[in-house]
Amino acid sequence: MKKTGDSKKSVQQADKKILVGIITGSPNDLPTVVKVRDTLTELGVASEIVVASAHRTPDKVMAYLDRAHRENVQVLIGCAGVAAHLAGVIAGHTRLPVIGLPLSGGVMSGLDALLSTVQMPPGVPVATVAVDGAKNAAMLAARILALKFPEINDALETAAKKERARYDQTADEALAKLKAK
């Protein structure tokens, strides 16, 4: 994680401008979905979560997309389980990058959500991460944003170095840290 420092705040934190819109189809999914926001926050990326269902509240989904376009949101993440049409509906109504986060649950434990999210028609792409892959959804959004915002690229590099450092230890050192928890 990159520390933004006192004198050098990231663009999105200074402006409090939301760069990533996270839409989830159900309030029941929030325990997984907040992990997307938490990861983005660690990277210094401003985001917001909206609960709006492609099936139960489609007008709310469309209203959010209108607002997201007006407010210059850069990346959208659609999080849904079971039928998981949310990311596809979002992708059908925007040209912004859309990441689908299929969520577990239901009789197929997320496989149905994965297949519904990944199987999009030509011309309506949804980048799809693993079932319950909240951290990867956030990291992919950050990588997309890093093309435009160098400070996000720096934060990603710092996070990658920190992650690599976890693996640069002996097995005994790793076991000792696990036991200390």
Q: How far apart are CA 63 and CA 179, in angstroms?
A: 49
pLDDT (tens digit per residue) in 33-89: 999 999 999 999 999 999 999 999 999 999 999 999 999 999 999 999 998 899 999
- Does residue 146 have a pLDDT over 90? yes
52 lies in some domain: yes
Q: Is residue 1 part of a domain?
A: no
Both tokens of residue 42? 């660690």
Q: Is there a domain that residue 6 lies in?
A: no
pLDDT category of residue 152 using cuts at 50, 70 and 90:
very high
Residue 70: predicted pLDDT: 97
Q: What is the mean pLDDT of residues 145-162?
A: 97
Q: What DSSP string describes 92-132?
A: HT-SS-EEEEEE--TTTTTHHHHHHHH-PPTT---EE--TT
pLDDT digits (tens, 9 = 90+) for 107-130: 899 999 999 999 999 999 999 999
| Residue at 3 is within a domain | no
CB 26 within 8 A of CB 82: no
Tell me the residue range of the domain where 42 lies.
11-180
Distance of alpha carbon 164 from alpha carbon 99, whole angstroms: 25
Please tell me the predicted confidence (pLDDT) of residue 4: 41
If you average pLDDT over every residue of the chain, what do you get?
Answer: 91
C-alpha 137/C-alpha 178 separation (Å) is 26
Integer Cα distance of 100 and 87 in angstroms: 5
What are the residue ranges of helices labelled H in the chain? 11-15, 30-42, 58-70, 86-92, 111-118, 134-146, 150-166, 171-180
Counted domains in the chain: 1
Q: What's the predicted TM-score (pTM) here?
A: 0.88
User: Is residue 18, in this structure, part of any structural domain at all?
Assistant: yes
CB-side exposure of 89: number of CA atoms within 13 Å? 24
User: Does a structural domain hold residue 59?
Assistant: yes
The structure tokens listed for 39 are 């990861």
pLDDT of residue 24: 98
Report the percentage of the chain scoring pLDDT > 90: 82
Indicate which CATH number applies to the domain containing 41: 3.40.50.1970
15 pLDDT tier (thresholds 50, 70, 90) = low
**Does some domain include residue 31?**
yes
Measure the CA–CA gap between 14 and 20, rounded to whole angstroms.
Answer: 15
Q: How high is the pLDDT of residue 5?
A: 41
4 found inside a domain: no
